[in-house]
């Protein structure tokens, strides 16, 4: 009942459109707002960093700087992928970082009217990573919030999890 | 907090003006009558006052105005810059700085009160006020008072009635001062013109922009490395890539130069500190500064500011004695503090030396034991130099009482940590009763460092050369015997001493699977981390490279093992290893006692261990040994570098002459072949040794090894034989360095020249 009213209210509000870059990891399609993407680096092989937190996918050279990457596969509990992966260079409050994904797809325009918050049946870890989903015609586009994927923040979350 | 361009400009200019003022101020104390100094100070304050009125900073204007009045009187010679006045002016300087800082931080002058300071500045003018009145009276008298006449008589008249008990300047002194000041009236204009010319040819550049340029040059160096590697096989590209190489090197040097600043920028703060402290501590100190023009990267300059201040404080508090004590010891009651900066290769050496009491090593010993930094048995076994090293331990202080100057035990270890943080080294040298010298060796730049690339886990890692002492190669078939285990701890016997080992792969992948190290070649990089020596075992070595240090993200910095990352010539990324962090992680936090032993070894003073080690060389077909402790370095150079004074072979080494001993006829043999162009490029090896105070070179055919030697005893008498030693079970002659005749001294040379002239 409450969800129904929420949906109604949303539809009443002016509909806005967002451009999302779609990426694929495993079977799922994710979307990252293109306003947060600095660049897409294709088929990169990040240099592993021994003793780094597990979610760190390694280092890549990016425009004269060394960029730390976050492996989305690892965050989702998927095994490592053989061969090169694509990297989204993202900008967040804490600086730039790379997001390692299986492949980068096209840019989609989605409507705010189609957005829904995270469903409650998702496990806690995923709920912390995802920012809801957009209902496309024949599939779902899971929205990623770069701020939540920031390495420093993930590191803190890891430590908090280790403590509890 | 937006600040308009005008205010920013004003802040920078005022800051510079005040820096200049500070420099002049300390000179002024020595030469109170120097009109050009007073003129310079006056101008600084005057400029501030002028601009503040325009920008509407009332508080600043009022204070500057009060200062300007006082300075005006000084400039006109109506006052002499004695101690109270200089103190007042320094307070004015601090006051102005404080307000400027507040403007910079909050865009407002802050709401402090300066009435007290202004009052003091006015008070200082008091005698002059009386003087001025006298002058007015004098003016009233018939003579068409020309200004330069005023000082003479009135001063004499006023002198007796001086209200201040301060060291009254002699009227006789005052008069010439006035004359000088007046004579200088034309000088400021000339000085200003010169300053103007300098301003035209210089430009203010934002440090952020310079940093960016440095980064870009770093990028270019990387690209160059890659181009060089990629084109090395292509003869068509050699000329082009060589040109690229040269231009890159030049560009890098220029950008680095743009970041350089003279050390005078930080030295200029010292006179003030010395002045304040010596007054506070009741010391008499003369400060000598040398090598002010030596240049250093701006960021490094910032980094050594605190250590330098610390060192100076220490010298004043612990080093230089109170005047009575000095006199009793037969020294000049005025102590000397020397600051010296000089460039030595790719390092800048900054020395702080005093002629004070020196460090009482016995006190150091007692204190270290008392503070539990070292056991008493261990302490009693330490020599002087090792004991001196103890003052760098955290928590060490010999000061009986904690003063506000020093003695809190956070002195020297902070100096060492700060200097080591920027890749530098600190040495201390002290002679009881004679003084102490603290030497800081600072690298010229931070952004690009030489490093050795090592391989482990199929990855490359960079090891900063600064921490690397030597490399040991252990071939596969020797690994089992060479690496020994003590309850699971791997050790290697390095010239008879046990060296703890750290396997890089095991350290980086704890609990993982590693290749069996006994089935491959191993390399041990002997590292020194804060005095802890250990061996890092790696799978392979690649070329040394100049690497550009790139910072790591916070989440990777937290691992603690890496100090950065870099891009190698082959476009591979490599993590830069931090030797001290590795030592820490691997648990090579030696007990402090061991640390002492390490320091002993480093200093080469505990002869027991070192005198037994020899550099084995081949000279003209025979083997000979040179005591390792005397060896400074080994040079390989073309025979053409050897020159002759008469029959004496000498080597002109960085502007210094080194006599080269050639007992084995190595030079002669090489010289015989040098007639041909090819022969003159022939390389020879010179072992540079220390003999007493001088350095001598020994020409050798080859350097063979470093080996431990044993003493030989004469049969029957059991007397120790000199001049020979047992090396690798062969009796080997030890080169006697003292027989190398000294080069002709200056007097003799003069005599020779004189003869030649006749």
Interface membership of B550 toward A (CB under 8 Å): yes
Are the Cβ atoms of B551 and A49 closer than 8 angstroms?
no
Closest to B629 (Cα-Cα) out of B653, B611, B648? B611
Check whether A30 has a pLDDT greater than 90.
Answer: yes
SS3 B697: strand
Is B175's pLDDT higher than 50?
no
* Count, residues in chain B: 758
Inspect the interface and report whether the beta carbons of A50 and B508 lie closer than 8 Å. yes
Q: Report the distance separating Cα B503 and Cα B479, nearest Å.
A: 13
Instruction: Provide mean pLDDT across the span B247-251.
Output: 87
Q: At what angle do helices B171-183 and B35-55 cross, to 10 degrees?
A: 60
For the segment B369-392, the average pLDDT, to the nearest whole number, is 76
Q: Which of B219, B551, B559 sits opposite A51 (nearest CB)?
A: B559
Q: How far apart are CA B248 and CA B218, in angstroms?
A: 10
Cβ within 8 Å, pair B573-A94: no
* Out of B215, B559, B573, closest to residue A64 by CB: B215
Q: What residue segments make up the domains of chain A, in order of their start?
A: 2-163
- As given in the structure block, the two tokens for residue B246 are 């040269």
The mean-pLDDT minimum among A26-40, B482-496, B595-609 falls in: B595-609
Which residue ranges form the domains of chain B, and what is each CATH number? 5-200 (1.20.120.160), 207-258 (1.10.287), 262-443 (3.30.565.10), 448-603 (2.30.30.40), 611-746 (2.40.50.180)
* Min distance A154 CA to chain B CA atoms (Å): 9
Query: Given strand B448-456, what is the order of strands in its sheet?
Result: B540-548, B448-456, B459-464, B573-577, B562-567
Contact between chains at A152 and B562 (C-beta distance less than 8 A): no
- Give the pLDDT of residue B216: 82
| Mean pLDDT of all residues in B66-90 | 80
CA–CA gap between residue B571 and residue B225 (Å, rounded): 9
What pLDDT sits at residue B612?
64
Q: Which SS3 state, helix, strand or coil, does residue B114 take?
A: coil
> A78-87, B451-460, B610-619 — which is least confidently predicted?
B610-619
Residue-level pLDDT at A32: 92
Per-residue pLDDT, B461: 94
Question: A65–B216: do the CB atoms touch at under 8 Å?
Answer: no
Mean pLDDT lowest among B511-525, B580-594, B739-753: B739-753
What does the pLDDT look like over B53-63, one tens digit per residue?
Answer: 777 787 888 88
Task: Write down the pLDDT at residue B446.
Answer: 67
Q: Least CB-CB distance to A97: which of B508, B553, B565?
A: B553
Judged by CB atoms closer than 8 Å, whether chains meet at B572 and A49 is answered as no
pLDDT of residue B210 exceeding 80, the answer is: yes
pLDDT of residue B592: 43
**Global model pTM greater than 0.80:** no
Residue that wins the pLDDT comparison between B161 and B497: B497
Q: Which residues of A touch B550 (CB under 8 A)?
A: 64-66
Q: Do B555 and A154 touch (CB under 8 A)?
A: yes
Q: Cα distance from A55 to chain B (closest Cα, Å)? A: 11
Residue whose C-alpha is closest to residue A51's, from B455, B559, B565 = B559
B400-442 per-position pLDDT tens digit: 444 444 444 446 777 887 887 777 778 888 888 888 888 888 8
Return the bridge partners of B533, or none: B528
Chain A's closest residue to B575, CA to CA, is A49
At B679, is the pLDDT very low, low, confident or very high (cuts 50, 70, 90)?
low
Residue A101: pLDDT band (50, 70, 90) is: very high
With a CB cutoff of 8 Å and minimum separation 6, the contacts of B121 are B66, B67, B69, B70, B88, B92
Percentage of residues in chain B with pLDDT exceeding 90?
A: 4
Partners of residue A51 in chain B, C-beta under 8 Å: 508-509, 559, 561
* pLDDT given at position B672: 67
Position B753 scores a pLDDT of 47
CB atoms within 10 A of CB B639: 19
Q: What would the two tokens of residue B626 be?
A: 């040179």
Task: Classify domain A2-163 at the CATH topology level.
Answer: OB fold (Dihydrolipoamide Acetyltransferase, E2P) (2.40.50)
In angstroms, what separates the C-alpha of A16 from chain B's closest C-alpha? 34
Average pLDDT value over all residues in chain B = 74
Average pLDDT over residues B234-256: 84
Which tens digit of pLDDT belongs to each residue from B639-675? 777 888 777 788 877 667 788 887 767 777 766 665 5
pLDDT for B711 equals: 62
B581 in contact with chain A, both atoms CB, cutoff 8 A: no
* Helix extents (H) in B574-703: 579-585, 592-603, 607-610, 666-672, 677-680
For testing the chain A interface, which of B505, B506, B538, B555 should be mutated: the one with the most A CBs within 10 Å? Answer: B555
């Amino acid at each position: 009942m409450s969800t129904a009213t929420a949906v109604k209210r949303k539809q009443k509000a002016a509909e806005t459109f967002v451009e999302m870059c779609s990426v694929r990891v495993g079977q799922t399609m994710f979307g990252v707002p293109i306003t947060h993407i600095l660049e897409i680096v294709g088929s990169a092989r990040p240099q592993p960093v021994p003793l780094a937190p597990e979610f760190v996918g390694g280092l890549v050279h990016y425009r004269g700087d060394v960029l730390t990457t976050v492996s989305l596969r690892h965050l989702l509990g998927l095994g490592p992928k053989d061969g090169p992966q694509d990297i989204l260079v993202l900008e967040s409050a804490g600086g730039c970082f790379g997001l390692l994904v299986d492949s980068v797809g096209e840019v989609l325009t989605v409507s705010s009217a189609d957005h829904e918050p995270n469903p409650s049946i998702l496990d806690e870890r995923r709920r912390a990573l995802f920012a809801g989903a957009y209902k496309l015609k024949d599939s779902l586009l899971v929205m990623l919030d770069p701020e939540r994927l920031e390495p420093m923040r993930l590191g803190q979350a890891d430590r908090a999890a280790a403590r509890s | 907090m937006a600040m308009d361009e005008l205010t920013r400009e004003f802040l920078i200019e005022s800051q510079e003006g005040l820096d200049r003022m500070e420099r002049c101020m300390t000179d002024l104390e020595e030469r109170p009558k120097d009109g050009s100094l007073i003129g310079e100070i006056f101008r600084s304050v005057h400029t501030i006052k002028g601009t503040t009125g325009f920008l509407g900073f009332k508080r600043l204007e009022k204070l500057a105005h009060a200062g300007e009045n006082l300075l005006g009187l000084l400039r006109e010679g109506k006052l002499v810059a004695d101690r109270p006045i200089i103190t007042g002016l320094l307070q004015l300087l601090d006051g102005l700085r404080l307000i400027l800082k507040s403007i910079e931080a909050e865009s407002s002058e802050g709401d402090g009160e300066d009435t007290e300071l202004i009052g003091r500045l006015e008070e200082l003018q008091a005698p002059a006020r009386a003087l001025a009145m006298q002058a007015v009276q004098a003016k009233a008298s018939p003579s068409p008072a020309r200004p330069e006449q005023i000082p003479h008589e009135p001063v004499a008249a006023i002198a007796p009635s001086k209200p201040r008990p301060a060291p009254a300047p002699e009227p006789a002194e005052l008069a010439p001062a006035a004359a000088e000041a007046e004579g200088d009236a034309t000088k400021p204009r000339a000085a200003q013109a010169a300053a103007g010319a300098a301003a035209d040819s210089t430009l203010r550049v934002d440090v952020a922009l310079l940093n960016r340029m440095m980064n870009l040059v770093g990028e270019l160096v990387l690209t160059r490395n890659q181009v060089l590697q990629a084109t090395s096989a292509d003869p068509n590209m050699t000329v082009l890539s060589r040109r690229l190489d040269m231009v890159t090197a030049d560009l890098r040097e220029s950008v680095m130069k743009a970041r350089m600043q003279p050390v005078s920028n930080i030295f200029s703060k010292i006179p003030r500190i010395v002045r304040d402290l010596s007054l506070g501590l009741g010391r008499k100190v003369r400060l000598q500064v040398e090598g002010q023009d030596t240049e250093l990267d701006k960021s490094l300059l910032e980094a050594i500011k605190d250590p330098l201040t610390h060192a100076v404080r220490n010298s004043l508090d612990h080093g230089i004695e109170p005047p009575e004590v000095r006199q009793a010891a037969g020294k000049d009651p005025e102590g000397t503090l020397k600051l010296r900066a000089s460039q030595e290769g790719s390092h800048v050496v900054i020395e702080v030396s005093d002629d004070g009491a020196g460090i009482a090593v016995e006190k150091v010993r007692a204190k270290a034991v008392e503070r539990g930094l070292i056991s008493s048995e261990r302490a009693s076994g330490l020599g002087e130099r090792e004991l001196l090293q103890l003052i760098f331990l955290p928590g060490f202080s010999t000061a009986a009482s904690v003063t506000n100057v020093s003695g809190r035990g956070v002195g020297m270890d902070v100096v060492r940590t700060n200097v080591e943080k920027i890749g530098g080294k600190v040495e201390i040298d002290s002679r009881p009763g004679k003084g102490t010298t603290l030497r800081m060796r600072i690298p010229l730049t931070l952004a690009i460092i030489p490093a050795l690339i090592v391989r482990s886990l199929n990855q490359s890692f960079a090891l900063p050369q600064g921490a690397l002492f030597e490399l040991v190669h252990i071939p596969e078939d020797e690994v089992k015997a060479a690496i020994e285990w003590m309850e699971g701890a791997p050790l290697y016997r390095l010239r008879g001493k046990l060296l703890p080992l750290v396997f890089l792969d095991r350290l980086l992948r704890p609990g993982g699977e590693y290749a069996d190290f006994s089935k491959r070649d191993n390399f041990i990089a002997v590292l020194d981390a804060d005095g802890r020596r250990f061996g890092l075992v790696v799978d392979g070595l690649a070329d040394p490279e100049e690497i550009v240090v790139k910072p790591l993200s916070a989440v990777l910095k937290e691992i603690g093992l890496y100090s950065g990352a870099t891009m190698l010539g082959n476009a591979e990324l490599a993590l830069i290893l931090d030797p001290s962090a590795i030592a820490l992680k691997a648990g090579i936090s030696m007990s402090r006692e061991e640390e002492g032993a390490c320091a002993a070894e480093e200093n080469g003073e505990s002869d027991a261990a070192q005198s037994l080690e020899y550099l084995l060389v081949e000279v003209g077909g025979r083997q000979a040994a040179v005591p390792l402790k005397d060896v400074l370095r080994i040079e390989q150079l073309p025979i053409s570098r050897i020159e002759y004074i008469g029959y004496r072979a000498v080597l002109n080494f960085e502007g210094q002459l080194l006599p080269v001993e050639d007992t084995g006829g190595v030079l002669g043999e090489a010289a015989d072949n040098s007639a041909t162009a090819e022969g003159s490029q022939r390389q020879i090896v010179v072992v540079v040794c220390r003999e007493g105070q001088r350095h001598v070179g020994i020409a050798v055919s080859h350097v063979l090894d470093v080996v431990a030697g044993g003493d030989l005893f004469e049969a029957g008498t059991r007397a120790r034989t000199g001049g020979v030693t047992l090396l690798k079970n062969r009796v080997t002659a030890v080169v006697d360095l003292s027989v190398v005749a000294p080069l002709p001294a200056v007097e003799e040379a003069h005599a020779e020249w004189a003869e030649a002239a006749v």
